[in-house]
Amino acid sequence: MKRAFTSIAALGLLASVPAQAETVAEFYKDKTITFIIGTAPGGTYDAWARLIARHWPDHLPGKPNFIAKNLPGAGGIKASNYLFNVAPKDGSVIGTFSRNIPTRAILNHPAVKFDPVKFSWLGSPELTNRVCIASGKAKVKTGEDLFQHQLLMGGAGAGTAVSTTPNLLRALLGMKMKLIEGYKSATDVVLAMERGEVEGICQTYTAFEVGHPGWIASGKVNVLFNIEPNPIPGTKIPSVFKFIKDPEQRKILAFYSSNVELGRPVAAPPGLPADRLTALRRGFDGVMKDATFVKDAKKQGLKIDPLTGEEVAKRVAALAATDPDTVAKTEAMLKKLNPEFTDTVQISGVKRKGRNLEFSLKGKTVSVSISNSRTKVTIAGKKAKRAAIKAGMTCKITHLGPNSRAKAVACK
């Protein structure tokens, strides 16, 4: 009896001792981390993500594998919503998406379903600047010229920085930028510049340099200014803030341009175990200093100028703390710049099972995207799926312009 009691007591004592917690190395051993990329393949975000994914295993305990997965949609909002609400919160899924995403959340974009402050920010491989560029053939050679001559700017769809930036500068500062929409990406806008359809574009400085090496140095294009408060170091490019006339203009433009300071942010879902978050952050920092990684980045024309995860988190928090009055004024201005349009058209093309619709608008074929969850689709007055829309149907489409997501589609 005594021996039995002693054995039972010993078992009870063992049961009261907590199990050894799983270490980071044990968790990641033989694991595969999914790296979500919120853009289509081929762009700068995609290039950075795939390059980082190749080197990150060497800087994480357990050396997990990485697999890159593109999840484009709604300018990065689709990937952001997935990472915040759906992806496992254990460190097995991470992602990268547009630096504009936190600003869209603060400006109450209707499709946003996340709090940017709560993401587990891991770092950024580069810092860049957004610039406005004019063809060397245009009358506009400097920022000052925009108050005398009109510059035809290419747009990549309502809500994109390519489209919003020239519209904002026209409304806020009176610069004579006329936006021509209908292009699917910044790359398409630059091709249109070569064809003479448009004369300028606003996009990031590094993306333009990587995509079109030698154009700036040769004078094929002129960089008019960058849109952040300080000029780009090491260049003669001025800041657009030299044209600011009052404090309110400064506040709005500073808020609009502040997301550029987030670089190419990489994040994980909120609520990660603290030790795994630390391991991911320090692993990211290790990649940025890896000699082979640095060499590979140079080969791809990518310039490393990293931020730690803690620094990105700090900058997102500062962005979210922008005074409500400035946010409200910026939101009201952007809504005026991106008004809704309602057009009754005949559908000429249906792609990807209704995800994209093509139709003629003012003599030009344009397209809009259709979301099963965010676009109200009806056929003959009854609720329908986007896949039910067919070429030849006459539809009333409410949208923000070419290449935007339709708010509603009512077909006969």
DSSP state of 86: T
Which run of H or of E encompasses 366? strand 364-369
For residues 112 and 135, membership in a common domain is answered with no
Question: Does residue 48 lie in a domain region?
Answer: yes
For residues 247 and 205, membership in a common domain is answered with yes
- pLDDT at residue 337, rounded to an integer: 73
In whole angstroms, how far apart are CA 181 and each of 45, 178, 367?
Answer: 23, 10, 11
For residues 254 and 141, membership in a common domain is answered with yes
For residues 41 and 118, membership in a common domain is answered with yes
CATH code at position 353: 2.40.50.140
Question: Does residue 204 lie in a domain region?
Answer: yes
Question: Does residue 177 lie in a domain region?
Answer: yes
Count of other CB atoms within 10 angstroms of residue 304: 15
Rounded to two decimals, the pTM is 0.75
- pLDDT at residue 184, rounded to an integer: 74
For residues 83 and 189, membership in a common domain is answered with no
For residues 250 and 139, membership in a common domain is answered with yes
Residue type for 21, please? Answer: A
Q: What average pLDDT does the chain have?
A: 91
Question: Does residue 354 lie in a domain region?
Answer: yes
- pLDDT at residue 399, rounded to an integer: 86
Q: Who contacts 5 (Cβ-Cβ below 8 Å, separation ≥6)?
A: none
- pLDDT at residue 63, rounded to an integer: 98
| DSSP letter string, 322-360 | S-HHHHHHHHHHHHHHS--EEEEEEEEEEEGGGTEEEEE
Final residue of a structural domain among 325, 354, 369: 325
For residues 280 and 399, membership in a common domain is answered with no
Mean per-residue pLDDT, 229-252: 94
- Long-range pairs, 352-356, Cβ under 8 A, ≥24: 353/386, 353/387, 354/385, 354/386, 354/387, 354/388, 354/389, 355/386
For residues 226 and 153, membership in a common domain is answered with yes
**pLDDT tens readout for residues 128-176:** 899 999 999 999 999 999 999 999 999 887 667 898 899 999 999 999 9
For residues 360 and 379, membership in a common domain is answered with yes
Mean per-residue pLDDT, 223-244: 95
- pLDDT at residue 40, rounded to an integer: 83
CATH code at position 185: 3.40.190.10
At residue 10, does pLDDT exceed 50? Answer: no
Question: Does residue 141 lie in a domain region?
Answer: yes
Question: Does residue 336 lie in a domain region?
Answer: no
DSSP state of 64: -
The rounded distance, in Å, linking the Cα atoms of 124 and 2 is: 64
Final residue of a structural domain among 259, 275, 292: 259
For residues 156 and 96, membership in a common domain is answered with no
What's the number of domains the chain is made of?
3
Q: Which range, of 58-62, 76-80, 133-137, 334-338, averages the lowest pLDDT?
A: 334-338
For residues 95 and 213, membership in a common domain is answered with no
**pLDDT tens readout for residues 76-114:** 889 999 999 999 999 999 999 999 899 989 988 878 999
**pLDDT tens readout for residues 21-54:** 899 999 999 999 999 999 888 888 999 999 999 9
CATH code at position 46: 3.40.190.150
At residue 117, does pLDDT exceed 50? Answer: yes
Residues of the domain holding 367: 341-411
More confident residue, 80 or 364: 80
Question: Does residue 355 lie in a domain region?
Answer: yes
Q: Which range, of 5-14, 156-165, 205-214, 251-260, averages the lowest pLDDT?
A: 5-14
Residue type for 342, please? Answer: T
**Contact present, 179 and 155 (Cβ < 8 Å):** yes
- pLDDT at residue 191, rounded to an integer: 94
Question: Does residue 106 lie in a domain region?
Answer: yes
For residues 194 and 253, membership in a common domain is answered with yes
Residue type for 68, please? Answer: A
Count of other CB atoms within 10 angstroms of residue 357: 27
Q: Who contacts 61 (Cβ-Cβ below 8 Å, separation ≥6)?
A: 23, 24, 25, 28, 279
